[in-house]
Amino acid sequence: MNKNVNTFLKEIETHEIEKFELYFCDYLSVPRAERINLYYNIINTEFNLKDLESRYGNFFYGYELKTKINKEIQSNDNFLITQSTDVCIFYTEYRIVFLLDVSMSLFLYDCQAKILNIEKIEIYLKNLINEFISMKKIIRSPTNEKIEYCPKLIVSFVAVGADEDCDVNIVFLIFLFFI
């Protein structure tokens, strides 16, 4: 009998979390104010993944967590997030708007780099976008299954310049959409 009690106590043990990553489907459903509320509601409160799913299940996509003792957490295991826990929130979709100042200085030649300034912007934007969309990670779904996280990226460009540069704006926007 004593062995069963010890087994039961071990099963309901609370694990302190070192790092907790939450993945949500839609950033509109969990705006900044709600993320702050979520953090304040879970900090120093013992709960499990079933509690989290019942509260945020409509837009809860997945999670990744690391306990201080590197124990694998099951959906009914209790855990505790403290002030020292790293908490990050991610989404399955991001919308980014780049505001570009299209002026004649973009068409100046950079002798050191041996390219036009506008070509530098193209390189920087390509690298930034490629780095973002190449981010893939295996996380856990609310049902504790392994799933691949790869965020969707929606990119918009707004080019602003002087009136006499309007022709440049149109050409530049068309050029950037083919990145």
The pLDDT-based confidence of 175 (bands split at 50, 70, 90) is: very low
Domain ranges of the chain: 2-91, 94-137+151-176
High-pLDDT (> 70) share of the chain, %: 83
- Rounded to 10°, the helix 49-56/32-42 angle is 150
16-25, 75-84, 160-169: which range is least confident on average?
160-169
Does residue 28 sit in helix, strand or coil? coil
Distance of CA 158 to the CA centre of its chain: 24
Q: How far apart are the first and last CA of the chain?
A: 68
Whole-number Cα distances in Å, 169 to 147, 163, 164 = 41, 10, 10
Ranges of H-type helices in the chain? 2-11, 32-42, 49-56, 117-133, 166-176
Q: Which residue has the tokens 């989290």?
A: 52
Write the pLDDT tens digit of every residue in 33-86: 888 888 888 888 888 878 877 877 778 888 898 888 888 777 678 888 888 999
Angle value at C-alpha 117, between 112 and 120, nearest 5 degrees: 85
Q: State pLDDT tens for residues 94-125.
A: 888 888 877 787 778 888 989 888 888 888 88
Q: Check residues 6 and 65 and name the one with the higher pLDDT.
A: 65
